[in-house]
Structure 1
Amino acid sequence: MSKIKVIPCSGIGKVFGLLARESVLMVTQEKCPNETETLCLAHVVTGDDEVVAKIKGARCITMDGCSKYCAKKSVEAAGGEVEHSYKVPDYIKPHRGEDHGTGTYLTEDGWKFVDELAGIMAKTVNEMQEEVK
Structure 2
Amino acid sequence: MEKQSKKVAIMPCAGIGQIFGPITREVGYQLVEELYPDQSELVCPPALATDIEEDIKFIQDYPILVLNGCKDRCASKLVIEKGEKIDAEVYLPDILRKERLSLAGEKRSKLGPKSQLAIDKMTKAAAEVIDQLLEGGNVNKIERQF
* Structure 2 unaligned spans of 5+: 138-146
What is the SS of the residue equivalent to 1:25? helix
Q: Which runs of structure 2 are paired with 1:1-133 in the superposition (5 Å)?
A: 1=4, 2-93=6-97, 94-96=100-102, 99=104, 101-131=106-136
| Length-normalised TM-score, structure 2 | 0.80
Higher helix share: 1
Q: Deviations over 1:80-103 (max 9, x none)?
A: 33111122111112113x547212
* Structure 1 unaligned spans of 5+: none
Asked if the contact 2:10–2:40 (Cα under 8 Å) also holds between the matched residues in 1, the reply is: yes
2:142 aligned residue:
none
User: In structure 2, do the counterparts of structure 1 residues 49 and 129 end up closer, same or farther at CA, with 3 Å as the change threshold?
Assistant: closer
Moved segments of 4+, more than 2 Å? 98-101
**Shift of residue 131 of structure 1?**
2.5
**Shift of residue 39 of structure 1?**
1.6
State how many pairs are aligned.
131
Asked if the contact 2:69–2:93 (Cα under 8 Å) also holds between the matched residues in 1, the reply is: yes
| Length-normalised TM-score, structure 1 | 0.87
Q: Deviations over 1:20-54 (max 9, x none)?
A: 11111111111222211102101111122332123
Asked if the contact 1:3–1:36 (Cα under 8 Å) also holds between the matched residues in 2, the reply is: yes
Report the Cα distance in structure 2 between the residues aligned to 1:36 and 1:58, rounded to whole angstroms: 9
Q: CA RMSD in A?
A: 1.8
Report the Cα distance in structure 2 between the residues aligned to 1:90 and 1:120, rounded to whole angstroms: 11
